[in-house]
Amino acid sequence: MSNIQKLLIAIVGVFVVGFLMVGSNKEDTNEFKANAAMVRAVAAMQTMANKKCPSAIKSETGDVVYFATDTDTDKETYVSLTWDASKTADKYSFKKAECTLHLTLGGISKLVIDGKTIIEKEVKY
């Protein structure tokens, strides 16, 4: 076996050992898994609210709303979106719409348009 072949085998061996070491250290901790799950839950909740709330407002008022002017969340169970017509240049038939979505319900738990409650569901924990 020539010196070049020995050198190539040694280089390949170093790469194999490196890949094995990196692969064995890729196990995620429980804390990392919990944090990742929380981020996914918040993202799913926000996505659900951004789909359901505008369609509920449109069915009630006929107005198409796009971006909420205010958002409130506890990052675990609910997200509340508010559309305030006085803070935007858009012309709506309502002054203020508030929509709250609870993850435990899987949908809108409260919808209030100009102080009139349209939807109100009891949230059980």
Q: Residue 125 domain-assigned?
A: no
Residue 96's domain spans which residues?
A: 3-120
Average pLDDT, the chain: 87
Q: Residue 116 domain-assigned?
A: yes
* pLDDT digits 0-9 by tens, 109-121: 999 999 999 999 9
> Do 110 and 117 contact (CB within 8 A), yes or no?
yes
- Per-residue pLDDT at 80 exceeds 80: yes
Q: Residue 101 domain-assigned?
A: yes
> Do 58 and 84 contact (CB within 8 A), yes or no?
no
pTM of the model: 0.71
SS3 content of the chain, % helix, strand, coil (to 5): 45, 25, 30
Domains identified in the chain, total number: 1
